[in-house]
Structure 1
Amino acid sequence: MLRVSVLTILTVLSVNFTVSHSARILGLFPSPAKSHLIVHMNAIRPMIERGHDVTIVTTIPVKEPNLKFRHIKAEQPNLDLSVISQNAKGFLNTMKLMAKVTNNLLNLTNLTLNSPEMQKLMKEESFDLGSPLQHISKLMGNPLELSYVPDLLTGLQQPMGFFDWVLNYVFSGVEFLLLQYMNYRMDQYYKSNFSPDKYPSFEEMKKNVSLLFVNTYLSQGHIQPNVPTIIQIGGIQIKPKQDPLPQDIKEFLDSASESGAIYFCLGSNISADLLTPDFINIMFKVFSSLKQKVIWKWDNDEFPGKSANILYKKWLPQDDILAHPNLKVFVTHAGSGGVTEAQYHGVPMVAIPFFADQFSNANKLQKIGHGVALDRDTLTKESLRKAVLEVLENPRLCGDIFQSIQRSTFKC
């Protein structure tokens, strides 16, 4: 449910075709996650570069000085992200997490629709408004093959055994009920914002989707059927040519030519405040004991500790760092975007998943030999150190052959 980044683009052709052949395009990107916005912006970038009249609505700032488009920033909602730090393993814990995430998504939808900026847009602009929906692939006529395609939130892998198959069906049934509840709530929000005298019903508007872009790739994820109107764009955020690194990061990585460097990042949603002191202490003790240089994405002013081999930064150009030749290991939460970038650049991973599709991503990369997956709840200094050294010293993971294999999978 959360792995798929849905890009809903609604187009209205310009009235005066003799003057311009450009289209009016509305990009609705309300997610507060910066990693999601990176994918969205790279998907809509070609339309901007081709001269279309593009309006983008987001809840977070957009930094694209070289692109010409109209940006409308809606109020950023205060979402409860504490669910990320809770135990998300097991059937019951996952169901509780899904319920909280569903409530967050509903609040996000309602707050975005009722923001002054969005209200003005709906009243004054001539866009055909639609709604980004979860599991919209069903509306595209895509088959749901539970007998051999694991639900992403279960963490199951193919091929499934009998008990995996049963769990997959039970899990999907509960998930279906949650989505029905979510659909009911969204219908209420829709009716309060769109008059039935002027707009089609919510059920009709849900069907007004012609094309669906999904943030995955044929060499990733599970083997499953897709109808022609579902287009895979996984890796679209990866630049064909890397930007120059900030000077301090470049010098830090360049100096790691002898032993290599490790990049540690848990994404844009998992802030330092959501991590337990024990988890932070384990990470620092292990990283500070290694001979490799470590770049650590850390968003607090107070550092976990001081060590000559660790560089803390609040913001990091992830794709550019993963492309550096001295980067040997990526310690990650196994978010879809980061896994894709690491695979493309041939950087093996130590995955510590926290919630949602990250468990499936971590299990998958370990199964196919792209790294090692660890359990956050049973993590120790010994298990982390063993995993990092295993990835560093495994010739199948750290060699040039691995890098060439990974890049080729994204060029099919």
Structure 2
Amino acid sequence: MRKSNGSAQMLSLAILSSLLCLTLHTCHGGKVLVYPVEGSHWVNMNILIEGLHSKGHDITVLRSDKSWYIKENSSSYNTITVPVSASLDEEFIAKIVTETINIQRGHSSLFVFVTLLVEMFKKLKEAHVTLKEMIVNILENPELVKSLQDCHYDILLTDPCWGGGTVLAHYLHLPLVYNVRWLPVGEGHFAVAPSPVSYIPLTGSGFSDKMTFIERVKNMLYFGAVVIQDRLTLRPVYQGVCEKYLSPHSDFYMLMQSADLWLMRGDFVFEFPRPTMPNVVYMGGFQCKPAKPLPQDLEDFVQSSGEHGVILMSLGTFVSQLPSDITEEIAAAFAELPQKVIWKYTGERPSTLGNNTLLVDWMPQNDILGHPKIKLFVAHGGTNGVQEALYHGVPVVGIPLFFDQYDNLLRLKVRGGATILSVATLEKGTLLQGLQEVLHEPSYRENMQRLSRLHRDQPMKPLDRALFWIEFVMRHKGAAHLRTESYKMPWYAYHSVDVVLFLVAVLSLIVLIILAVIRYLLRLCNKIKNKVD
């Protein structure tokens, strides 16, 4: 019975896809197929989708029937819902948060680093194995594949954090555009551009671009660990899919590198300077925009703060998974401040909560950060929130939890716009000290205001730049002229190992020949001398 229901679902979504194509042919804009990622990644992908929709393009989004962020019905896009048996959900992410906090709070620093590394490897592999099912289910459905082919999409837009979109683009022979910061392993630049680890820190290392000798050693070791993780655990997950559905000789990593356009969610006001490539377009802060008026109840609360102003706190969607003793300490620290506090929080109400703190399960974060009375932002360090703080020039007290959050906050700290507190040692006193430091030391706000001015001083808004280049790829059926062919080279050729070995061999041969000639001449001289004697 289950198999019959699954077949019926597959047939119905194939029919739906075909109907969508018939509808799309009447439109004048291009046709974009989107293979997105859930969570905060979808938040910024949806902004690109809305921008493309406003310019007259038709967008079709592939989503799973277990999706918890991507709505099935939208005025900006059509959807094709793919049935899967499992997917990443809030519970999966919440477990990662809880385990990460427990590890950090219970062990020495070296043990913490190694343990976190191993746990992240395990969780990432588990996630990719789960998510692989969606691309397999698509390619195993001939009716759906045919309907996708018949739609004649102009491009496939995907977040390569998961590998399914890359595989599908090559299967359908579509130009491939990335909305990217992360690949299945590591940061996007490491796959597309030269990345010397002598001054480019690995995500998770906690280093800046100014590393000591010991830090460079650690950075190199961490790079090696990431390569091993990629080769042994994650790449095989998608390599098997490529070999089965594309070609026995296909290489997933090469396919991933061959994207026409990399829309990078960063810029060099935020990122450390590094080499880049012609097909990398920087759109850092593309989701940011001028603040709109707050809802009246929030505006009244903000205005009630008087001259002291307001603090905004958000640790992301999963703040309710923080241990209760930590949330009690946070609430107690806020209660000591004269500022009003807006705290995005969905857990049990802390008993130490002061009258100055308003708990909300949702708030217009961008609009609050752009309000004249905002004083600082207590954040977990997600890319979206950090870039909104930078855009509005709001200093940050960071409490990173996992993944890239520490590294995001570190980029602000190095530039003097943030301080970072460890969740492992977080208590009322340390939090209060960090809050008061950022509130009363003018340099934090001054530095963030300077970064905001630098970020805004551009000839073109980041979102407009991203939309232009997406349409550029659509108009020209790709952007191969911007893409280096280095991705087709084996590693030993890319790093010129074969050339070095060849030159060493030639040089060695020349030296041997010279030595042989010298030896021969010495022997000849000795023979002549002996004859003379």
TM-score (norm 2): 0.66
Structure 1: how far apart are the matches of 2:213 and 2:131?
Answer: 38
In structure 1, the partner of 2:37 is 30
In structure 1, the partner of 2:471 is none
Alignment of 1:36-115 (within 5 A): 36-58=41-63, 59-62=67-70, 67-73=75-81, 76-78=87-89, 80-81=92-93, 82-85=95-98, 86=100, 87=103, 90-113=112-135
In structure 2, the partner of 1:217 is 267
Q: CA deviation at 1:232?
A: 1.4
Match of 1:349 among 379, 384, 396: 396
In structure 2, the partner of 1:11 is none
In structure 1, the partner of 2:375 is 328
Q: In the alignment, is the contact (CA less than 8 A) between 2:62 and 2:79 conserved in 1?
A: yes
Question: Counterpart of 1:271 in structure 2: which amino acid?
Answer: V
Q: Deviations over 1:192-211 (max 9, x none)?
A: 6x3659x9664664354101
Q: CA deviation at 1:116?
A: 7.6
Q: Deviations over 1:192-233 (max 9, x none)?
A: 6x3659x96646643541011121111112221111111111
Question: Counterpart of 2:78 in structure 1: which amino acid?
Answer: R
Q: CA deviation at 1:61?
A: 3.8
Q: CA deviation at 1:290?
A: 1.5
Q: CA RMSD in A?
A: 3.2
In structure 1, the partner of 2:434 is 387
Question: Counterpart of 2:303 in structure 1: which amino acid?
Answer: D
Q: CA deviation at 1:404?
A: 5.3
In structure 2, the partner of 1:372 is 419
Q: Note closer, same or farther for the CA distance 1:118–1:324 as it changes in structure 2 (3 Å cut).
A: farther
SS of equivalent residue, structure 1 residue 153: coil
Q: CA deviation at 1:118?
A: 9.9
In structure 2, the partner of 1:292 is 339
More helix as a share of residues:
2
In structure 2, the partner of 1:9 is none
Q: In the alignment, is the contact (CA less than 8 A) between 2:235 and 2:253 conserved in 1?
A: no
Match of 1:280 among 306, 322, 327: 327
In structure 1, the partner of 2:10 is none
Pick which of 402-411 and 279-288 moved more: 402-411
SS of equivalent residue, structure 1 residue 54: strand
Q: Note closer, same or farther for the CA distance 1:18–1:352 as it changes in structure 2 (3 Å cut).
A: closer
Q: Say yes or no: does 1:124 pair with 2:136.
A: no
In structure 2, the partner of 1:252 is 301
The structure number with the bigger radius of gyration is: 2
Question: Counterpart of 1:80 in structure 2: which amino acid?
Answer: F
Structure 2: how far apart are the matches of 1:70 and 1:113?
Answer: 19
Q: Note closer, same or farther for the CA distance 1:138–1:221 as it changes in structure 2 (3 Å cut).
A: closer
Q: Note closer, same or farther for the CA distance 1:342–1:118 as it changes in structure 2 (3 Å cut).
A: farther
Match of 1:143 among 189, 194, 198: 194
Q: In the alignment, is the contact (CA less than 8 A) between 2:383 and 2:408 conserved in 1?
A: yes
Q: In the alignment, is the contact (CA less than 8 A) between 2:294 and 2:368 conserved in 1?
A: yes
Q: Note closer, same or farther for the CA distance 1:332–1:104 as it changes in structure 2 (3 Å cut).
A: farther
Match of 1:408 among 454, 465, 478: 454
Structure 2: how far apart are the matches of 1:318 and 1:104?
Answer: 32
Structure 1: how far apart are the matches of 2:144 and 2:306?
Answer: 52
Question: Counterpart of 2:60 in structure 1: which amino acid?
Answer: T
Q: Deviations over 1:303-334 (max 9, x none)?
A: 12343211111112211110111110111111
Match of 1:183 among 226, 230, 235: 235
Match of 2:355 among 284, 308, 312: 308
Q: Give the count of matched residue pairs.
A: 389
SS of equivalent residue, structure 1 residue 151: coil
Q: In the alignment, is the contact (CA less than 8 A) between 1:30 and 1:112 conserved in 2?
A: no
Q: Say yes or no: does 1:243 pair with 2:256.
A: no
SS of equivalent residue, structure 1 residue 152: coil
Q: In the alignment, is the contact (CA less than 8 A) between 1:342 and 1:349 conserved in 2?
A: yes
Q: In the alignment, is the contact (CA less than 8 A) between 1:130 and 1:208 conserved in 2?
A: no
SS of equivalent residue, structure 1 residue 264: strand
Q: Say yes or no: does 1:339 pair with 2:351.
A: no
Structure 1: how far apart are the matches of 2:44 and 2:25?
Answer: 34
Match of 2:218 among 136, 150, 167: 167
Q: In the alignment, is the contact (CA less than 8 A) between 2:199 and 2:209 conserved in 1?
A: yes
Q: CA deviation at 1:37?
A: 1.6
Residue ranges of structure 2 left out of the alignment (5+ in a row): 1-20, 157-164, 168-177, 459-533
